[in-house]
Amino acid sequence: MTVLEVDQIDGMGKSQEGRQLLFLISDHLDWEQEGEHLLVLQEKINAYLTFIESAQYAEHYPDEQFNEFVIEIHFLHTPTKKCEEFLAIVGQQLQPFHISIAVE
């Protein structure tokens, strides 16, 4: 699965301590169409937020209580400055909800 498949979770798993639920976004796109790429990434992140907010993860982890959620984005191509700025803003907005963005 990839960033283009907005209706799919690319990957999900618990942290070693079991307190965090980790989500994977696999982004293989280059940055030639930066604006479109950012829109696709925003749409994918929004889909993950809906998944988290609606607690759909409980279908996979019915007996687990998570303190924090981490969306890890794995880029094939180095993110642009605009992408880094976008992710920093999104990360700040999500902090009160115990959701963070990590770039790998």
Per-residue model confidence as pLDDT tens digits over 33-71:
999 999 999 999 999 999 999 999 999 999 888 989 999
pLDDT band, very low/low/confident/very high, at 16 (cuts 50, 70, 90)? confident
pLDDT of 76 > 90? The answer is: yes
pLDDT score for 42: 97
Q: Where are the beta strands (DSSP E) in the chain?
A: 11-14, 20-27, 68-75, 99-103
> Longest Cα pair distance anywhere in the chain, in angstroms?
44
pLDDT score for 56: 94
CA 46 to chain centre: 8
Q: Within the chain, how many helices (H) and strands (E) appear?
A: 2, 4
**Cα dihedral sign, 14-15-18-24:** negative
CA dihedral (82, 87, 93, 94) in degrees, to 10, reads: 170
pLDDT of 1 > 80? The answer is: no
Residues 28, 76 contacting (CB under 8 angstroms):
yes
Selected residue with higher pLDDT from 104 and 75: 75
84: nearest Cα among 59, 61, 102: 102
Three-state DSSP class for residue 17: coil
